[in-house]
Amino acid sequence: MAPLGGAPRLVLLFSGKRKSGKDFVTEALQSRLGGNICAVLRLSGPLKEQYARDRVIDGLYFGQEHDLDFQRLLDASTYKEAHRRDMIRWGEEKRRADPGFFCREIVEGLVSDTRRVSDIQWFQEAYGAVTQTVRVVASEQSRQQRGWVFTPGVDDAESECGLDNFGDFDWVIENHGDEQCLEDQLGNLLECIHARLQ
């Protein structure tokens, strides 16, 4: 959330487990704020785009010649799930070599899929006090009702567990399925956002 051409006035970093509702919460906030005020940015977008385009595994080139569809990697499809484990491994290799590799692609707004301490550290170092962390939590039962099934190598990987012991998030949004409770929490966060943007 930044003035046109200026530095961001607020960067919200959202994290949470699969099917906790991170995208739902960030899209709800964006719709209330308006697209001219903020953008929802996904760290996984640059990862998926590059993975689809030019990934190399064990010396073999994969990507467009194998018809990986970048747009389908962005949605909640079985197509994305079929490639998830390999995308995680590939992304971890890139991050080990350069922790800011994917973060630099994102510059301002609501970052809907922060997954690692190194992601948060990069934004805090780049933007300082305008960075706020938001954890979206949902019960296992709520996540299962949204289609979540524990997948070894995915749900126990750093991409899902890297922030489990992060410590104090600036905000915690409980998204267990109670619409009024969620609406009240979003209202509180929106008040803070508006105050920071004045």
Give the residue numbers of the binding site for substrate.
Answer: 175
Classify residue 3: in a domain, yes or no: no
Strands 56-57 and 60-61: antiparallel
Number of domains in the chain: 1
Does residue 22 have a pLDDT over 70? yes
Nearest CA to 142 among 17, 4, 5? 17
Confidence of residue 15 (pLDDT cuts 50, 70, 90): very high
Residue 34: count other Cβ atoms within 10 Å of its Cβ: 8
| Strand ranges for 73-128 from DSSP E | 109-111
Classify residue 164: in a domain, yes or no: yes
Give the residue numbers of the binding site for ATP.
Answer: 17-23, 146, 176, 185
Place of tokens 């934004």: 123
**Pair of tokens at residue 91:** 């992304």
Give the residue numbers of the binding site.
Answer: 17-23, 146, 175-176, 185
What's this model's pTM, rounded to 2 decimal places?
0.71
Nearest CA to 116 among 52, 43, 175, 47? 43
Classify residue 89: in a domain, yes or no: no
Q: What is the mean pLDDT of the chain?
A: 80
CATH of the domain at 175: 3.40.50.300
What is the 3-state composition of the chain as percent helix, strand, coil, each rounded to the nearest 5? 50, 15, 40
Comparing 6-10, 14-18, 155-159, which segment has the lowest mean pLDDT?
A: 6-10
Full strand arrangement of the beta sheet holding 40-41: 40-41, 109-111, 11-15, 131-137, 171-174
Helix (H, G, I), strand (E, B) or coil at 137: strand
Classify residue 18: in a domain, yes or no: yes
Classify residue 168: in a domain, yes or no: yes
Q: Distance (Å, rounded) from C-alpha 113 to C-alpha 159?
A: 10
Mean pLDDT of 88-103: 72
> Domain containing 187: what range?
11-46+99-197
Residue-wise pLDDT tens digits, 118-163: 889 988 988 899 999 999 999 999 999 999 999 998 899 888 999 9
